[in-house]
């Protein structure tokens, strides 16, 4: 089992460009999450999907959109990237919502110039 | 302002020393989780504590949940270089989970 996979691993964008971060899990988990991690700020939740077909905003959703494509895949889209979105992005999955063990992917390091 | 404050922010010690890191909040949590994150990787769950006053041991790591379920500590005995990493606590309430900023631990051989 690969667990949680994320692509790409690194990305550099110019301000205003768009991109989609991909995430897939092979653990048959119901819930999936997107976080960003910035120095001194810890992990902050952008969006989550409690189950296939549902998505909800987290703590810092502005500037992002998500799609729960199926039970395995959860993508994060930046429509018009800004330097403030420079960060490391982590996808995670769990059997249920908060309180269950979350399994994280290896992260995507995004730089917006 | 972080919901969960972790201290110290950075800690550098020699192999064999003992250490304690803290996770504090003014909020009450139904449970609290500790994760360790190594460079270039995602966090990995170490433990979940649920009951106030609960103590859990994982080899040389001892986790304690405060009696009021607002704080937690992680004690490492005889630290080893393999313990190096970012230690994150996460407080859970209903369907909301919030992470602290972490303690970055370096254990020098």
Judged on CB neighbours under 10 Å (0-12, 13-18, 19+), B20 is: middle
CA distances from A107 to A5, B25, B105 (A): 9, 27, 20
Q: Tokens at residue A4, please? A: 């949680």
Nearest to B99 among A42, A50, A106 (CB): A42
Q: How confident is the model at residue A1 (pLDDT cuts 50, 70, 90)?
A: low
CB of B100 closer than 8 Å to CB of B6: yes
Distance CA A48, CA A30 (A): 11
The answer to whether the beta carbons of residues A46 and A61 sit under 8 Å apart is: yes
pLDDT value, residue B81: 96
Residue A2 has pLDDT above 90, yes or no: no
For residue A90, the chain B residue with the least C-alpha distance is: B42
Q: Under an 8 A CB cutoff, do B102 and A4 touch?
A: no
pLDDT in tens, chain B (109 residues): 568 999 999 999 999 999 999 999 999 999 999 999 998 899 999 999 999 999 999 999 999 999 999 999 999 999 999 999 999 999 998 878 899 999 999 999 9
Give A9's pLDDT tier (boundaries 50, 70, 90).
very high
Cα B82 to chain centroid, rounded:
16
In this complex, which of A40, A90, A99 lies closest to B30 when CB atoms are compared?
A: A99
Calpha distance B36→B34 (Å, rounded)? 7
| CA-CA-CA-CA dihedral for A11, A17, A18, A23, to nearest 10 | 10
Residues of B with a Cβ under 8 Å from any A Cβ are 2, 4, 9, 30-31, 33, 40-45, 48, 88, 90, 92-102
Best mutation target among B40, B97, B101 (most A Cβ atoms within 10 Å) is B97
pLDDT at residue A40, rounded to an integer: 81
Contacts of A54 (CB under 8 A, 6+ apart): A68
- What is the percent of chain A with per-residue pLDDT over 70, rounded to a whole number? 99
pLDDT in tens, A65-98: 999 989 999 999 999 999 999 999 999 999 988 7
Interchain pair A45, B97: CB under 8 A: yes
Is B98–A59 a contact, with Cβ atoms under 8 angstroms apart?
yes
Q: Higher confidence at residue A49 or residue B3?
A: A49
Per-residue exposure over B38-48, b if at least 16 CB sit within 10 Å of its own CB, e if not: eeeebbebbbb
Q: Which residue of B has its CA nearest to A108?
A: B40
pLDDT of residue B2: 65
């Amino acid at each position: 089992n690969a667990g949680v996979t994320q692509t790409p691993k690194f990305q550099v964008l110019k301000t205003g460009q768009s991109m989609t971060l991909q995430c897939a899990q092979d653990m048959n988990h119901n819930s999936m999450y997107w976080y960003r991690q910035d120095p001194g700020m810890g992990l902050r939740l952008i969006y989550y999907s409690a189950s296939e077909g549902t998505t909800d905003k987290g703590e810092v959703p502005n500037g992002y959109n998500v799609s729960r494509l199926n039970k395995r895949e959860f993508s994060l889209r930046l429509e018009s990237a800004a330097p403030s979105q420079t960060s490391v992005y982590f996808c995670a999955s769990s059997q249920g919502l908060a309180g269950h063990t979350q399994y994280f992917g290896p992260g995507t390091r995004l730089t917006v110039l | 302002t972080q919901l969960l404050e972790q201290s110290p922010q950075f800690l550098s010690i020699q192999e064999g020393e003992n250490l304690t890191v803290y996770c504090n909040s003014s909020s009450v949590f139904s449970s609290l989780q500790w994760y360790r994150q190594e460079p270039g990787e995602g966090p990995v769950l170490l433990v979940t504590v649920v009951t106030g006053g609960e103590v859990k041991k994982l080899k040389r790591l001892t986790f304690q949940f405060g009696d009021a379920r607002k704080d937690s500590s992680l004690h490492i005995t005889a630290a080893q270089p393999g313990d190096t990493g970012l230690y994150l606590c996460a407080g859970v309430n209903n369907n909301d989970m919030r992470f602290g900023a972490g303690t970055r631990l370096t254990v020098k051989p």
